[in-house]
Amino acid sequence: MDAAARIVRAMNPPGCDTDEAELGRLMCCAQEGDQNAYALLLSRVAVIARDFARREMADPSGSEDVAQDVLITIHQARHTYDPARSFAAWMFAIIRHRLVDHMRKVRRIRSREVTDETVLDAAAAQENDDATDLLGDEIREALARLPESQRRVIELLKLESLGVAETARRLGLSESNVKVTAHRGYAQLRKLLGRNRP
Amino acid sequence: MNTDDLIRKLATDARPVRRQLPVGVLLVIWLATSIIPVAGCMFACGARPDFAEAIRQPALLCQLAALTAVAILSATAAIRLSIPGCERSTASRRAAAVLVVLWIAALIAATFGRHACEAGPGAPCSLDVALVTILPCAVLAWICRTALPLRPAVTGALIFAASASIGAASSLLVCPGNDPLHLLTWHAAPVLILIIAGLAAGKILLHKPPRQP
């Protein structure tokens, strides 16, 4: 059994005996259009990807993002899997590259943005007060033009008056991710609303 | 979107897919399409006047062999790099790089070894290299992009290396120039420039970020 296959076996959820051959079989069924097999395969892969990301990253809060990127990539590339080759090698090539991409993205963001939570909390509090003062229709129109991730965060924080923790739980994100997304969303709203004013 | 919802969405979107063709088959398809511009170049420009004699010269044969090897090794590496987990070692890439370096080093050494070298006019040679590169480059880029190039910049460089080598080999068959400085300036330099351009082009054209269906 090669190293990748050993890792697959070690990363199985408790009580699950899925090994590499089984994952390969599920992938073959998925390539033929079997949606149940595909859903089962993706659940297993998500666990493996998340655990791998948690072990490799200094800040494991992004492991869910990495797992989702891996699943989407597997969906895009499922036609490239060849049953004659190792499924584990195929899967881990995707996991490793998406992890590296994620870590590069985080590094880029950190080099350009403030992530000190006290500063973000103060900015978000000020922005929340500012946002309340704006006209209802105009802000809803601008909200609709935001990217979906920013719009959902602002809707949950402002329209449904959820806290950061609850918003993070609902969206499956980390709290710092919610704050950064809200901060960007408010900045984009200010730009959009600033353009609409004479 | 949380992960469970994503899995449901992806599973609902699962349709039967046609598996990627094996690497060997893709390579043969690419080689077959690469012959078209080479033949076109020879038809348009005509073979070099001293073709029968030149083809027996070791220097030309070695260059043609090296360039053909670079083309095949680079194309194989590019295709393998586009299939996750397919590239088990970097031997193909390294061998191609070594051959390119050896070719250029040999030309540089030959330049210094001669008393008088002239680059001479050679823009048409560079144009031949560039024009012949187009079709093999487009076909190989399409092959790689339909897979999943996880290292787009390196894959781009390999695609351009493979295609430019075909172009350089083709130009050797039509250009009567044997002067090493001419070959270095008008045949080898365009290959190097195209490989560097391939790094940038690959990053832009072959980058496939994860996108939800």
Asked whether the beta carbons of B192 and B116 are under 8 A apart, the reply is no
Of A17-26, B184-193, B199-208, minimum mean pLDDT range:
A17-26
**According to the model, what pLDDT value does residue A129 have?**
61
**According to the model, what pLDDT value does residue A144 have?**
85
* pLDDT(A93) > 50: yes
Chain A contacts in chain B segment 61-100 (CB below 8 A): 82-86
* pLDDT(B116) > 90: no
**According to the model, what pLDDT value does residue A190 have?**
81
Nearest by CB: A73 against B20, B22, B148: B148
Instruction: Identify which of B42, B212, B30, B35 has the alpha carbon closest to the alpha carbon of residue B137.
Output: B30
Query: Searching chain A, which residue's CA lies closest to the CA of residue B83?
Result: A80
Residue type, A87: F
- Gap between the Cα atoms of A188 and A165, Å rounded: 23
Q: Per the CB < 8 Å rule, is B20 touching A64?
A: no
Of A9-13, A164-168, A183-187, minimum mean pLDDT range:
A9-13
Q: Per the CB < 8 Å rule, is B22 touching A98?
A: no
**According to the model, what pLDDT value does residue A161 have?**
79
Nearest by CB: A35 against B11, B85, B211: B11
Nearest by CB: B7 against A43, A81, A89: A43
Of A136-145, B27-36, B80-89, B156-165, minimum mean pLDDT range:
A136-145
Query: Searching chain A, which residue's CA lies closest to the CA of residue B20?
Result: A80
Q: Per the CB < 8 Å rule, is A79 touching B19?
A: yes
- Chain position carrying tokens 């919802």: B5
Q: How confident is the model at residue B73 (pLDDT cuts 50, 70, 90)?
A: very high
Q: Per the CB < 8 Å rule, is A82 touching B83?
A: yes
Helix, strand counts (H, E) of chain A: 10, 0
| Residue B19 touches chain A, beta carbons under 8 Å | yes
Shortest distance between the Cα of A94 and any Cα of chain B, in A, equals 6
Segments in chain B forming alpha helices (H): 3-12, 23-45, 51-54, 58-81, 91-113, 123-146, 152-174, 180-183, 189-205
Contacting residues of B for A80, CB less than 8 Å apart: 19-20, 82-84, 147-148
* pLDDT(A39) > 90: yes
Q: Per the CB < 8 Å rule, is B15 touching A33?
A: yes
Contacting residues of A for B148, CB less than 8 Å apart: 73, 76-77, 80, 94
The percentage of residues in chain B with a pLDDT greater than 90, rounded to a whole number, is 65
Contacting residues of B for A73, CB less than 8 Å apart: 148, 210
Using CA atoms, how far residue B153 sits from B100, B146, B157, in Å, is 18, 16, 6
| Close Cβ partners of B200 (under 8 Å, ≥ 6 residues apart) | B153, B156
Q: How confident is the model at residue A116 (pLDDT cuts 50, 70, 90)?
A: low
Euclidean distance between the first and final Cα of chain A, in Å? 69
- Gap between the Cα atoms of A167 and B158, Å rounded: 45
Examine the predicted complex and report whether its ipTM is higher than 0.85: no
DSSP string, B109-125: HHHHHSS-----S-HHH
Query: Searching chain B, which residue's CA lies closest to the CA of residue A74?
Result: B210
* pLDDT(A15) > 50: no
**Average pLDDT score over chain B:** 90
Of B170 and A165, the structure prediction assigns the larger pLDDT to B170
For A130-161, what is each residue's pLDDT tens digit? Answer: 655 554 677 778 888 888 888 889 888 887 87
Average pLDDT over residues B73-85: 94
**Average pLDDT score over chain A:** 81
Q: How confident is the model at residue A127 (pLDDT cuts 50, 70, 90)?
A: low
**According to the model, what pLDDT value does residue A104 have?**
87
Asked whether the beta carbons of B11 and B121 are under 8 A apart, the reply is no
CA dihedral of residues A11, A14, A20, A22 (deg, nearest 10): -150
Shortest distance between the Cα of B202 and any Cα of chain A, in A, equals 16
Of A15 and A103, the structure prediction assigns the larger pLDDT to A103
Of A3-12, B77-86, B121-130, minimum mean pLDDT range:
A3-12
Q: How confident is the model at residue B26 (pLDDT cuts 50, 70, 90)?
A: very high
**According to the model, what pLDDT value does residue A16 have?**
46
* pLDDT(B140) > 70: yes
Average pLDDT over residues A75-104: 92
Is the whole-model pTM more than 0.90? no
Q: How confident is the model at residue A1 (pLDDT cuts 50, 70, 90)?
A: very low
**According to the model, what pLDDT value does residue A180 have?**
86
Of B89 and A130, the structure prediction assigns the larger pLDDT to B89
Chain B contacts in chain A segment 68-127 (CB below 8 A): 68-73, 75-82, 85-86, 89-94, 97-98, 101
The half-sphere exposure of B42 on its side-chain side, counting CA atoms within 13 A, is 14
Of A2-6, A13-17, A20-24, A152-156, minimum mean pLDDT range:
A13-17
Q: How confident is the model at residue A114 (pLDDT cuts 50, 70, 90)?
A: low
